[in-house]
A and B are shown apart, each in its own frame.
Chain A
Amino acid sequence: MIVPVNVVLALSAVLFGIGAFGFLARRNIILMLISVEVMLNAVNVSLAGFSRHLGDLRGQVLALFVIAVAAAEVGVGLGLVIALNRNKPGAAVGDLTKLKW
Chain B
Amino acid sequence: MLSRIYPGSDYFLLAAIFYYMAAASVASALLAVTRRNPVHSMLWVLALFLHVAGIFLLLGAEFLAAVQVIVYAGAILMFYLFVVMLFDLPAEEVRPRFGNHWPFAAAVGLGFACLAWIARVGAGAPSAGTPVAVERVPQGNLRAIGTALFGPFVLPFEIASLILLAAIIGAVLLARRRAA
A residues near B (Cβ < 8 Å) are 1-3, 5-22, 24-28, 30-31, 33-35, 37-38, 41, 44-46, 48-58, 60-61, 63-65, 67-76, 78-83, 85-86, 89-92, 94
- Known A-B contacts A21-B33, A38-B32, A65-B160; the reply to A91 vs B22 at CB < 8 A is no
Cβ–Cβ contact A91 & B89, under 8 A: yes
Residues of A within 8 A of B116 (CB): 9, 12-13, 16-17, 46
Cβ–Cβ contact A79 & B80, under 8 A: no
Cβ–Cβ contact A2 & B106, under 8 A: no
Cβ–Cβ contact B59 & A11, under 8 A: no
> How many whole Å from B19's CB to the nearest CB in chain A?
8
Residues of A within 8 A of B48 (CB): 38, 41
B59-85 CB contacts (< 8 Å) to partner A: 59-61, 63-64, 67-68, 71-72, 75-76, 79-80, 83-84
B95: Cβ under 8 A from any A Cβ: yes
> How many whole Å from B146's CB to the nearest CB in chain A?
10
Cβ–Cβ contact A24 & B109, under 8 A: yes
> How many whole Å from B68's CB to the nearest CB in chain A?
7
B102: Cβ under 8 A from any A Cβ: yes
Main secondary structure of the interface of B (DSSP, over half): helix
B1-50 CB contacts (< 8 Å) to partner A: 2, 11, 14-15, 18-19, 22, 25-26, 29-30, 32-34, 38, 41-42, 45, 48-49
- Separation of A61 and B56 alpha carbons in the complex (Å): 13
Residues of B within 8 A of A63 (CB): 61, 64
Q: How large is the interface on B (under 10, 10 to 19, 20 to 34, 35 or more residues)?
A: 35 or more
> How many whole Å from B134's CB to the nearest CB in chain A?
5
Q: Which of B26, B120, B131 contacts A54 (CB 8 A)?
A: B131
Residues of A within 8 A of B174 (CB): 76, 79-80, 82-83
- Separation of A101 and B126 alpha carbons in the complex (Å): 52
Residue of B nearest to A90 (CB): B91
Cβ–Cβ contact B61 & A55, under 8 A: no
> How many whole Å from A72's CB to the nearest CB in chain B?
4
Q: Which of B123, B171, B177 contacts A78 (CB 8 A)?
A: B171
- Separation of A21 and B33 alpha carbons in the complex (Å): 8
Residues of A within 8 A of B104 (CB): 24
Cβ–Cβ contact A54 & B127, under 8 A: yes
